[in-house]
Amino acid sequence: MPPGTLSPHQPRWRERAEPPSSRAGPPPATERYAPRSAEPLASELWRRVPQPVRRQREPKHHPAVGTLLWLYRLALLAGLAYTMVVGGPVLRVAAVAAAVFALWGDWDGVVCHALRIVGLAGAIAAGLAFGIPLGDWVGSYMGVAAGWMGLMPRLGGIAVVMLVVAIVSAAIRYRIWGALRGRPNLRAADHVLGSLLGVAEGALLIAAIGWTVATFERPLSRLHDELAARPELGHWLLHSIDRAHVALQTDPAGQLLMRTNPLLQFELMRAVQQAADVATDVQAREQLFSEQSVRELSELPPVKRHLDLMRVDRKLREALEQRDLAAIMSSDAFAAMLADRAVRQAVLAWWERKCRPAHSPQSPKGTALPPRL
């Protein structure tokens, strides 16, 4: 068949007409309404079909970096396992906690893990700083009465502020994590530092527990005596107190924790310790509220200065003479006395001097738990 001729079996819509631009006039009606070719139509329809999104592969770090990362992980876990085997009771518990926190920190990375800790601390601080005023404003706007019902708006304000700070912290953490995904070498270093941060967190947690037990040793000893007299209250708690105190006294790491207790350097912790001593000792409570103790407290120079200012007010002077504690404690002068740091330091030093002869470190009573497991 000569070229250019149509086969009888070939459909007429296979004809390819000349482009309209090459002709002088408009195309004839037969060509104007001729059927279009199926090939361009099929390709156009195929372009309109939504294609599956091809995810780009994340960049991989150098093979040597991955090998070193896994060798570091194995060495770290092997060192912690060796500490669990050969260490004392305190070191064994610290190694277990360090291993758990190391795996957590390695999973998160140092940036995300540190931001989670900072976000939690910031949420608590912001909730206490801004949540209470927010709750007071909402309570006054809604007309909530004072008392126990007045605590509900404060708790709600604290919860709202903490939730907002947590959401902002999570958003920042997600953005930083997304930026680290494209940098494999930095991501490997992030995992290494995260595991080290986890080890430090686990060790610090066990150290804080040991310092707390050493700080509240006398109240725990009295609690031990009460539980021993009434064993139905809890054998597990009694057993845990015994094991913790024996470990701190016999293990070299525990003795080091008791010697280097930084909690007693803080005035607030010493005040809490003295309050726990008073709360668990009947004789200490009677001694604190005796006539002689009240007289000694009033003779302290910082306290005496504030009492002289209180006696200027006639109502407060009458309350002091009648020992009306409700009227005294609700006054602004009493609040100013409590806010004075010199008063707090003087009262705390006086109470420590008063209680030291009865509970000296050399005295076996109230300072050591029975060494039984």
| pLDDT tens digits for range 126-144 | 888 888 888 878 877 776 6
Selected residue with higher pLDDT from 60 and 194: 194
Position 150 scores a pLDDT of: 60
Q: Could you give phi then psi for residue 83, rounded to 5 degrees?
A: -65, -40
Question: Per-residue pLDDT for 282 more than 80?
Answer: no
- What residues have CB less than 8 Å from 173, skipping those under 6 apart? 111, 112, 115, 116, 119
- What residues have CB less than 8 Å from 11, skipping those under 6 apart? none
What average pLDDT does range 210-217 have in this prediction?
83
What tokens were used for 307? 């009492």
Count of Cβ atoms closer than 10 Å to residue 273 Cβ: 19
Question: Per-residue pLDDT for 321 more than 70?
Answer: yes
From the list 96, 73, 72, the residue with the least C-alpha distance to 83 is: 96
Position 371 scores a pLDDT of: 41
Give percent of the chain above pLDDT 90. Answer: 11
In which band, very low, low, confident or very high, does the pLDDT at 217 lie, cut at 50, 70 and 90?
Answer: confident
| Residue 298 C-beta-side C-alpha neighbours within 13 Å | 14
CA angle 174, 177, 181 (to 5 degrees): 140
Position 365 scores a pLDDT of: 38
What tokens were used for 346? 């003087």
Compute the distance between CA of residue 258 and CA of residue 248 in angstroms, rounded to an integer.
7
Selected residue with higher pLDDT from 70 and 33: 70
Compute the distance between CA of residue 313 and CA of residue 317 in angstroms, rounded to an integer.
6
CA angle 158, 113, 212 (to 5 degrees): 70
Compute the distance between CA of residue 222 and CA of residue 276 in angstroms, rounded to an integer.
11
Read off the pLDDT of residues 43-84 as tens digits, 9 standing for 90 and up. 666 666 666 656 656 566 667 777 888 899 999 999 999 999
List own/partner pairs for 106-110 with CB under 8 A and 24 or more apart: 106/73, 106/191, 106/192, 106/194, 106/195, 106/198, 107/194, 108/194, 109/177, 109/180, 109/187, 109/190, 109/191, 109/193, 109/194, 110/190, 110/191, 110/193, 110/194, 110/196, 110/197
Count of Cβ atoms closer than 10 Å to residue 352 Cβ: 14
In which band, very low, low, confident or very high, does the pLDDT at 229 lie, cut at 50, 70 and 90?
Answer: low
Q: What is the signed CA dihedral for 131, 132, 135, 140, rounded to 10 degrees?
A: -150
CA angle 224, 229, 232 (to 5 degrees): 95
What average pLDDT does range 16-36 have in this prediction?
52
Count of Cβ atoms closer than 10 Å to residue 93 Cβ: 21
State the residue for tokens 């094991």. 243
User: Which amino acid is it at 324?
Assistant: D
Residue-wise burial string across 181-205, b where 16 or more C-beta atoms lie within 10 A, e elsewhere: eeebeebbbbbbbbbbbbbebbbeb
